[in-house]
Chain A
Amino acid sequence: DTGVSQDPRHKITKRGQNVTFRCDPISEHNRLYWYRQTLGQGPEFLTYFQNEAQLEKSRLLSDRFSAERPKGSFSTLEIQRTEQGDSAMYLCASSPLVGYTFGSGTRLTVV
Protein backbone atom coordinates (compact mmCIF):
# COMPACT_ATOMS: atom_id res chain seq x y z
CA ASP A 1 0.00 0.00 0.00
CA THR A 2 2.10 2.82 -1.31
CA GLY A 3 -0.38 5.64 -1.66
CA VAL A 4 -3.92 6.83 -2.12
CA SER A 5 -5.71 5.19 -5.05
CA GLN A 6 -8.66 6.67 -6.89
CA ASP A 7 -10.85 4.99 -9.42
CA PRO A 8 -11.67 5.72 -12.16
CA ARG A 9 -9.03 8.17 -13.37
CA HIS A 10 -11.40 9.65 -15.91
CA LYS A 11 -15.16 9.58 -16.24
CA ILE A 12 -17.28 11.05 -19.02
CA THR A 13 -20.99 11.02 -18.36
CA LYS A 14 -24.12 12.51 -19.82
CA ARG A 15 -25.97 15.18 -17.92
CA GLY A 16 -28.52 13.69 -15.60
CA GLN A 17 -26.67 10.42 -15.03
CA ASN A 18 -25.36 9.28 -11.66
CA VAL A 19 -21.67 8.66 -11.09
CA THR A 20 -19.71 7.11 -8.25
CA PHE A 21 -16.02 7.47 -7.49
CA ARG A 22 -13.94 5.35 -5.18
CA CYS A 23 -10.97 6.24 -2.99
CA ASP A 24 -8.69 3.77 -1.22
CA PRO A 25 -6.62 5.63 1.38
CA ILE A 26 -3.35 4.60 2.95
CA SER A 27 -4.41 1.78 5.24
CA GLU A 28 -3.14 3.20 8.53
CA HIS A 29 -4.67 6.66 7.90
CA ASN A 30 -7.95 7.10 9.74
CA ARG A 31 -8.71 10.52 8.24
CA LEU A 32 -10.03 10.82 4.69
CA TYR A 33 -10.89 13.95 2.73
CA TRP A 34 -12.58 14.78 -0.56
CA TYR A 35 -11.75 17.94 -2.49
CA ARG A 36 -12.99 19.30 -5.81
CA GLN A 37 -10.81 21.24 -8.23
CA THR A 38 -12.12 23.11 -11.24
CA LEU A 39 -9.90 24.16 -14.10
CA GLY A 40 -7.40 26.84 -13.16
CA GLN A 41 -8.40 26.88 -9.51
CA GLY A 42 -7.07 25.43 -6.31
CA PRO A 43 -8.83 22.47 -4.68
CA GLU A 44 -11.83 23.17 -2.50
CA PHE A 45 -12.81 21.10 0.52
CA LEU A 46 -15.92 18.95 0.18
CA THR A 47 -16.04 16.58 3.13
CA TYR A 48 -14.04 14.76 5.80
CA PHE A 49 -14.25 11.37 7.50
CA GLN A 50 -12.62 10.16 10.65
CA ASN A 51 -12.85 6.39 10.44
CA GLU A 52 -16.43 5.77 9.24
CA ALA A 53 -17.89 8.99 10.66
CA GLN A 54 -18.50 11.90 8.32
CA LEU A 55 -17.63 14.84 10.56
CA GLU A 56 -17.59 17.84 8.25
CA LYS A 57 -19.38 18.78 5.02
CA SER A 58 -18.91 21.87 2.89
CA ARG A 59 -21.76 23.98 1.55
CA LEU A 60 -20.43 22.91 -1.85
CA LEU A 61 -21.77 19.43 -1.16
CA SER A 62 -25.32 19.84 -2.39
CA ASP A 63 -28.10 17.30 -1.88
CA ARG A 64 -27.03 15.60 -5.09
CA PHE A 65 -23.72 14.64 -3.53
CA SER A 66 -23.27 11.87 -1.00
CA ALA A 67 -20.13 10.38 0.45
CA GLU A 68 -19.66 7.25 2.50
CA ARG A 69 -16.88 5.40 4.22
CA PRO A 70 -18.74 2.32 5.42
CA LYS A 71 -16.01 0.39 7.21
CA GLY A 72 -13.59 3.18 7.83
CA SER A 73 -11.42 2.06 4.94
CA PHE A 74 -12.31 2.98 1.34
CA SER A 75 -14.71 5.81 0.56
CA THR A 76 -17.16 6.51 -2.24
CA LEU A 77 -18.42 9.83 -3.56
CA GLU A 78 -21.65 9.71 -5.53
CA ILE A 79 -23.12 12.50 -7.61
CA GLN A 80 -26.72 12.10 -8.65
CA ARG A 81 -28.31 13.81 -11.64
CA THR A 82 -25.02 15.24 -12.81
CA GLU A 83 -24.88 18.77 -14.19
CA GLN A 84 -22.30 20.37 -16.43
CA GLY A 85 -21.10 22.42 -13.48
CA ASP A 86 -20.03 19.21 -11.78
CA SER A 87 -17.22 18.81 -14.31
CA ALA A 88 -14.04 18.94 -12.25
CA MET A 89 -11.22 16.92 -10.78
CA TYR A 90 -12.29 15.13 -7.60
CA LEU A 91 -9.36 14.56 -5.28
CA CYS A 92 -9.18 12.25 -2.31
CA ALA A 93 -6.58 12.53 0.43
CA SER A 94 -5.83 10.68 3.62
CA SER A 95 -3.81 11.55 6.68
CA PRO A 96 -2.87 10.27 10.11
CA LEU A 97 -3.19 13.57 12.01
CA VAL A 98 -0.83 15.93 10.25
CA GLY A 99 0.24 15.71 6.65
CA TYR A 100 -1.89 14.82 3.67
CA THR A 101 -1.29 12.29 0.93
CA PHE A 102 -3.37 12.99 -2.14
CA GLY A 103 -4.50 10.55 -4.77
CA SER A 104 -4.19 11.33 -8.47
CA GLY A 105 -7.83 12.29 -8.70
CA THR A 106 -10.83 11.41 -10.83
CA ARG A 107 -11.50 13.80 -13.67
CA LEU A 108 -15.23 14.06 -14.35
CA THR A 109 -16.56 15.50 -17.57
CA VAL A 110 -20.30 15.99 -17.86
CA VAL A 111 -21.49 16.39 -21.44
Chain B
Amino acid sequence: SQQGEEDPQALSIQEGENATMNCSYKTSINNLQWYRQNSGRGLVHLILIRSNEREKHSGRLRVTLDTSKKSSSLLITASRAADTASYFCATVILIQGAQKLVFGQGTRLTINP
Protein backbone atom coordinates (compact mmCIF):
# COMPACT_ATOMS: atom_id res chain seq x y z
CA SER B 1 0.00 0.00 0.00
CA GLN B 2 1.10 3.56 -0.58
CA GLN B 3 2.64 5.42 2.32
CA GLY B 4 0.87 8.68 1.82
CA GLU B 5 -0.44 11.40 -0.36
CA GLU B 6 1.22 13.78 -2.73
CA ASP B 7 -0.26 17.10 -3.53
CA PRO B 8 -1.05 18.24 -6.11
CA GLN B 9 -1.51 15.17 -8.30
CA ALA B 10 -0.80 17.32 -11.34
CA LEU B 11 0.84 20.72 -11.74
CA SER B 12 1.28 22.79 -14.88
CA ILE B 13 3.34 25.99 -14.81
CA GLN B 14 5.24 28.28 -17.15
CA GLU B 15 8.95 27.93 -17.69
CA GLY B 16 10.86 30.05 -15.23
CA GLU B 17 8.27 29.78 -12.46
CA ASN B 18 8.85 27.84 -9.26
CA ALA B 19 7.14 24.50 -8.68
CA THR B 20 6.21 23.23 -5.23
CA MET B 21 5.11 19.68 -4.53
CA ASN B 22 4.02 18.35 -1.17
CA CYS B 23 4.14 14.92 0.36
CA SER B 24 2.55 13.57 3.51
CA TYR B 25 3.37 10.26 5.14
CA LYS B 26 1.98 8.12 7.91
CA THR B 27 4.72 6.47 9.94
CA SER B 28 7.93 7.53 11.68
CA ILE B 29 10.82 7.76 9.25
CA ASN B 30 14.57 7.45 9.16
CA ASN B 31 14.83 9.50 6.01
CA LEU B 32 12.69 10.70 3.11
CA GLN B 33 13.76 10.72 -0.51
CA TRP B 34 12.52 12.41 -3.66
CA TYR B 35 12.71 10.80 -7.09
CA ARG B 36 11.97 11.95 -10.62
CA GLN B 37 10.54 9.76 -13.35
CA ASN B 38 10.40 10.73 -16.97
CA SER B 39 7.52 9.18 -18.89
CA GLY B 40 7.95 5.44 -19.26
CA ARG B 41 11.38 5.42 -17.66
CA GLY B 42 12.94 4.39 -14.37
CA LEU B 43 13.28 6.61 -11.33
CA VAL B 44 16.19 8.93 -10.71
CA HIS B 45 17.17 9.80 -7.15
CA LEU B 46 17.10 13.54 -6.54
CA ILE B 47 17.68 14.20 -2.88
CA LEU B 48 17.56 12.57 0.55
CA ILE B 49 16.68 14.35 3.76
CA ARG B 50 17.22 12.71 7.12
CA SER B 51 14.69 12.84 9.91
CA ASN B 52 16.89 15.19 11.95
CA GLU B 53 17.19 17.68 9.09
CA ARG B 54 14.64 20.37 8.34
CA GLU B 55 15.86 21.68 4.99
CA LYS B 56 18.24 20.61 2.27
CA HIS B 57 19.36 22.15 -1.01
CA SER B 58 20.76 20.67 -4.19
CA GLY B 59 21.15 23.01 -7.13
CA ARG B 60 17.68 24.29 -8.03
CA LEU B 61 16.04 21.85 -5.60
CA ARG B 62 15.01 22.66 -2.06
CA VAL B 63 13.47 20.05 0.20
CA THR B 64 11.89 20.66 3.58
CA LEU B 65 10.83 18.15 6.18
CA ASP B 66 8.42 18.64 9.08
CA THR B 67 8.36 15.46 11.13
CA SER B 68 5.75 16.86 13.52
CA LYS B 69 3.32 17.21 10.62
CA LYS B 70 4.69 14.17 8.79
CA SER B 71 5.11 16.18 5.63
CA SER B 72 7.77 17.21 3.15
CA SER B 73 7.91 19.59 0.23
CA LEU B 74 10.03 19.76 -2.90
CA LEU B 75 10.61 23.15 -4.49
CA ILE B 76 12.09 23.45 -7.96
CA THR B 77 13.18 26.99 -8.68
CA ALA B 78 13.43 28.62 -12.11
CA SER B 79 11.77 25.64 -13.79
CA ARG B 80 12.83 24.43 -17.23
CA ALA B 81 11.01 22.41 -19.86
CA ALA B 82 13.35 19.51 -19.06
CA ASP B 83 11.92 19.39 -15.53
CA THR B 84 8.69 17.98 -16.97
CA ALA B 85 8.31 14.60 -15.24
CA SER B 86 6.56 12.84 -12.38
CA TYR B 87 8.00 13.43 -8.93
CA PHE B 88 7.66 10.95 -6.09
CA CYS B 89 8.48 11.10 -2.44
CA ALA B 90 9.49 7.89 -0.74
CA THR B 91 9.90 6.99 2.88
CA VAL B 92 12.25 4.28 4.00
CA ILE B 93 11.39 1.21 6.00
CA LEU B 94 14.35 -0.80 7.25
CA ILE B 95 14.15 -4.48 6.35
CA GLN B 96 16.73 -7.19 7.03
CA GLY B 97 19.83 -5.19 6.26
CA ALA B 98 18.32 -3.02 3.56
CA GLN B 99 15.97 -0.14 2.93
CA LYS B 100 12.53 -0.63 1.39
CA LEU B 101 11.11 2.44 -0.29
CA VAL B 102 7.44 3.26 0.15
CA PHE B 103 6.31 5.71 -2.51
CA GLY B 104 3.53 8.23 -2.72
CA GLN B 105 1.33 8.47 -5.78
CA GLY B 106 3.43 11.21 -7.31
CA THR B 107 2.94 14.64 -8.81
CA ARG B 108 2.91 15.01 -12.60
CA LEU B 109 4.71 18.26 -13.36
CA THR B 110 4.40 19.92 -16.75
CA ILE B 111 6.56 22.92 -17.61
CA ASN B 112 5.16 24.92 -20.49
CA PRO B 113 7.71 26.74 -22.66
Q: Show the binding face of A for B, using Cβ within 8 Å.
A: 4, 6, 31, 33, 35, 40-45, 48, 50, 55-56, 89, 91, 93, 95, 97-105, 107
Contact = CB atoms under 8 A, between A and B. Distances in A.
Interface string B72-113: 000000000000000010100001111111111110000000
B45 interface: yes
Q: Which 10 A-B pairs have the closest CB atoms?
A: A42-B103, A102-B42, A55-B96, A104-B42, A102-B43, A56-B95, A31-B98, A42-B88, A45-B100, A43-B103
Contact of A50 (B1, B88, B98): B98
A48 B95 contact: yes
Query: Interface on chain B toward A: helix, strand, loop, or mixed SS?
Result: strand
A33 B35 CA distance: 16
Given A42-B2, A42-B88, A50-B96, A91 B42 contact: yes
Interface of B: 1-2, 35, 40-45, 48, 88, 90, 95-106
Contacts of A33: 98, 100-101
A103 B37 CA distance: 11
B101 A98 contact: no
Given A43-B43, A93-B42, A100-B43, 11 more contacts: A31-B97, A42-B88, A42-B90, A42-B104, A42-B106, A43-B103, A55-B98, A95-B98, A97-B99, A99-B45, A100-B99
